Amino acid sequence: MSSVLKKPNDRIDETLFTLAEYDARAAELGGYSNYSYWRSTWQVFLKNRVAFALLIIILVLLFFTVIQPYLPNQKLPNEIYLDPATKMQLRNHPPDAEYWFGTNSIGQDLWARIWSGTRTSLYIGVVVGFLTALIGIIVGAIWGYVRKLEHLFTEIYNIFDNIPTTVILVLLTYIMRPSLSTLIFAMCITGWLTVARQIRNLIVIIRDQEYNLASRCLGTSTARVITKNLLPYLVSVIMLRIALAIPIAIGMEVFLTYIGLGLPVDIPSLGNLINEGRLVMMSPSLRYQLFFPAIVLSVITISFYVMGNAFGDAADPRNHV
Write out the residues near another protein by the rule CB under 8 A: 2-5, 8, 12, 14-20, 22, 24-35, 37, 40, 43, 209-211, 213-221, 224, 228-229, 232-233, 320-321
Minimum CB separation of residue 128 from another protein in Å reads: 28
Minimum CB separation of residue 38 from another protein in Å reads: 11
Are 124 and 245 in contact by the 8 Å Cβ rule? The answer is no
How deeply is 68 buried, as exposed, middle or buried, from its count of CB atoms within 10 A (0-12, 13-18, 19+)?
middle
Q: Could you give the 3-state DSSP secondary structure of residue 243?
A: helix
Please give the backbone phi and psi of residue 184, each rounded to the nearest 5 degrees, phi first: -65, -45
Nearer to another protein, 166 or 215 (CB): 215
- C-alpha distances in Å from residue 287, one per residue of 108, 290, 291: 16, 5, 6
Please give the backbone phi and psi of residue 83, each rounded to the nearest 5 degrees, phi first: -70, 120
Minimum CB separation of residue 283 from another protein in Å reads: 56
Minimum CB separation of residue 23 from another protein in Å reads: 8
Nearer to another protein, 29 or 88 (CB): 29
Are 281 and 287 in contact by the 8 Å Cβ rule? The answer is yes
96 CB-near residues (< 8 Å, 6+ apart): 102
What angle separates helix 180-206 from helix 147-162, to the nearest 10 degrees? Answer: 140
Nearer to another protein, 34 or 162 (CB): 34
C-alpha span between 132 and 241 (Å, rounded): 9
Nearer to another protein, 5 or 88 (CB): 5
Nearer to another protein, 124 or 234 (CB): 234
Minimum CB separation of residue 275 from another protein in Å reads: 46
Nearer to another protein, 25 or 177 (CB): 25
Minimum CB separation of residue 40 from another protein in Å reads: 6
